[in-house]
A and B are shown apart, each in its own frame.
Chain A
Amino acid sequence: MTTTASSVASTPPTVGRVSGVLSHRWVRFGIRRLGRLLMSLAVLVTASFLMIHLIPGDPVRGALGPTAPTALVEARREALGLNDPLFVQYWHYLQGLFTGDLGTSLTSQLPVADIVSQRLPATLTLAMLGFLVSVAVAVPLGVLMGVVTRRGRGRRSELAFTTTSVVLGTIPDFLIGVGLVYVFGVSLQWLPVAGNATADAYVLPVLALAIGPAAILSRIFRVEMVAVLEADFVRTARAKRLPSRSIYLGHALPNALTAGLTICGLLLGSLVAGTVLVENVFAWPGLGRTIVASILSKDYPVVQAIVLVYGVGVLLANTVVDVALALLDPRSMIAED
């Protein structure tokens, strides 16, 4: 009952407050985003820790084989700390993570940290190159197709584009890899199909990795562009009689980009995972081959560590994308409230 006519007539008080905390908003966003990252990390670390314990039976016995002497198995169990209570093991695991000690390989007896740090660069390079190539292709292609096929125009090109991109986006990267190996390695013998010794050895693996995501991403950017071109604010821009360049690049593009960016994060994640298969097709000396070999030889400490590394990579990729999104689109920060 305290309201007066004057406060009624003026604008709602919330509007003034929002601008007052504009700078605080970044802080709040940062804290919230960091909180989510830490939460996901905690889940990830716990999951990777529990992995060994969820395996039915004795993982050490499984790794060393049924013929290994019981004394050896017991010694290994002791060395791995598997005989301690679970929470003690968890505590040791966390301590190890903070000191960079990821344990020792069951098969090679090498420190896991060394194995990972030796293999990581090759995988990172492959993933980054794949990502850059797919974005560099997808954004211009998708946006262009969006403009061409807006408002139900160019039905033929839309059909051709959609079909091609759906097909290419559906074929898993290892099949694309096998196809590329067959065509360029076996039949034409133009390019090397194994290892990463020379620069031209990068071509096929990066292609195998990038084609699928590029197809999916360009399709998404087309759809976003078409949707943005239907939006009310584009009509406003046209009502302002701005030149087409300004309408498409100045008004439509930034909005299409922000919408597509969310998918980029997911895609970057799946690209990281995609390296596992591609590395195995092209004998790429990265983490992907190591993890598969380790799963088959039941070298669990190595598997555990690599799963963790992949997981962290995916989480970081998502975080980077979210921050980029917040920079591009001021609304995305408050959308999570």
Chain B
Amino acid sequence: MSELRFDDVTVRYGTARRPFTAVDGVSLTVPEGQVVGLVGESGSGKSTLARAAVGLAPLHSGEILLGGQPVPRRGRVRPLQMVFQDPFSSLDPRMTIGESITEPMPPGPGRAERRAEVERLLTLVHLDPDVAGALPGRLSGGQRQRAALARALAGQPKVVIADEITSALDVSIQGAVLNLVRELQRELGLSMLFISHNLAVVRYVASHVAVMYQGRIVEQGPVSEVLVDPQHAYTRELLAAVPGSRPPTHARPARSTS
């Protein structure tokens, strides 16, 4: 099985004398073929948890298992891939899109196969295959984010972690990326940990949701339960703060016009 499991994970930063616990005993499971949304305010430890999973942040205690095995941190085969928030810094400006996408591919196939694979992936994320020869500078934010998704898929991951992948994008482009995420999940059965601070976005793409607050998961469960009948005070506050969830103020009686 290829579910991603965080088991009592703790991540600490800072010096030994003044440690700062960014993630505090988090247990969380991303079931196979499901999208799990992770929400919480900034600084609550969402990104740290993601970075710990792919080996970019040091694990203090606990385990992160992929299909029952520890996530490999060495070697060329990386079944856990990540897509980053800012599409403008997540692609090397001096490498063509094709080269970037080739990088995480497992070793083995020859040049022609790799090129064919790049084309297949680009088509999958609705980009023109010709884009493979272009430098990222020529692409718009939305196109770059799709290329970044293609790069993550090139590693043939069992699970993909998406860290705020739409928050740096303009609203009109954000929709396209969200559509793509849903499509990949449905058509490829992709498992995904989808991090966002936007509950409406999570509601749209995820089947499960976990709420993080000050380094801990305070509530988790199916979207239909957590967002409809929140148990934790912070979840309720988060829900109340979603714009558009309250009666609009312009419904008040008009003032000042004579």
The short answer to whether A and B are in direct contact, CB under 8 Å, is yes
Chain A residues at the B interface, C-beta cutoff of 8 Å? 1, 3-5, 8-9
Q: How far is the CA of A4 from the CA of B218 in the complex (A)?
A: 11
Size class of the B contact interface (CB-based, 8 Å): under 10
In the complex, whether B251 has a CB less than 8 A from a CB of chain A is: no
Interface positions of B from 202 to 241, Cβ below 8 Å from A: 213-214, 216, 218, 233-234, 236-237
Contact A8 B234 (CB under 8 A): yes
CB distance from B241 to the nearest CB of A (A): 11
Contact B237 A3 (CB under 8 A): no
The 8 closest A-B pairs by CB, nearest first: A5-B233, A8-B234, A8-B237, A4-B233, A3-B213, A5-B237, A1-B218, A3-B234
Contact A3 B236 (CB under 8 A): no
Contact A5 B236 (CB under 8 A): yes
New contact pairs (4) apart from A8-B213, A8-B237, CB-CB < 8 Å: A4-B233, A5-B234, A8-B233, A8-B234
Q: How far is the CA of A4 from the CA of B237 in the complex (A)?
A: 11
Residues in chain A near residue B214, CB distance under 8 A: 3
Q: Which chain A residue shows the least CB distance to B217?
A: A1
Residues in chain A near residue B237, CB distance under 8 A: 5, 8-9
8 contacts between A and B (CB under 8 A): A1-B218, A3-B213, A3-B233, A3-B234, A4-B233, A5-B233, A5-B234, A8-B237
Q: How far is the CA of A1 from the CA of B213 in the complex (A)?
A: 9
Residues in chain A near residue B218, CB distance under 8 A: 1, 3
Residues in chain B near residue A1, CB distance under 8 A: 216, 218
The residue among A1, A8, A9 with the most chain B CB atoms within 10 A of its own CB is A8
Q: Which chain B residue shows the least CB distance to A9?
A: B237
Q: How far is the CA of A67 from the CA of B22 in the complex (A)?
A: 71
CB distance from B211 to the nearest CB of A (A): 11
CB distance from A143 to the nearest CB of B (A): 34
Q: Which chain A residue shows the least CB distance to B236?
A: A5
CB distance from A61 to the nearest CB of B (A): 49
Q: How far is the CA of A5 from the CA of B232 in the complex (A)?
A: 9
Q: How far is the CA of A3 from the CA of B215 in the complex (A)?
A: 12
CB distance from A32 to the nearest CB of B (A): 12
Q: How far is the CA of A8 from the CA of B234 in the complex (A)?
A: 7
CB distance from B224 to the nearest CB of A (A): 23
CB distance from A54 to the nearest CB of B (A): 34
Q: How far is the CA of A9 from the CA of B213 in the complex (A)?
A: 12
Q: How far is the CA of A1 from the CA of B234 in the complex (A)?
A: 10
Q: How far is the CA of A9 from the CA of B234 in the complex (A)?
A: 9
Q: How far is the CA of A4 from the CA of B233 in the complex (A)?
A: 6
CB distance from A80 to the nearest CB of B (A): 43
Q: How far is the CA of A94 from the CA of B216 in the complex (A)?
A: 53
Q: How far is the CA of A119 from the CA of B236 in the complex (A)?
A: 75
Write out, one digit per residue, whether chain B residues 126-161 have a CB within 8 A of any chain A CB (1) or not (0). Answer: 000000000000000000000000000000000000
CB distance from A28 to the nearest CB of B (A): 11
Q: Which chain B residue shows the least CB distance to A5?
A: B233
Q: Which chain A residue shows the least CB distance to B18?
A: A337
Q: How far is the CA of A90 from the CA of B139 in the complex (A)?
A: 63
Q: Which chain B residue shows the least CB distance to A8?
A: B234
Q: How far is the CA of A3 from the CA of B216 in the complex (A)?
A: 10
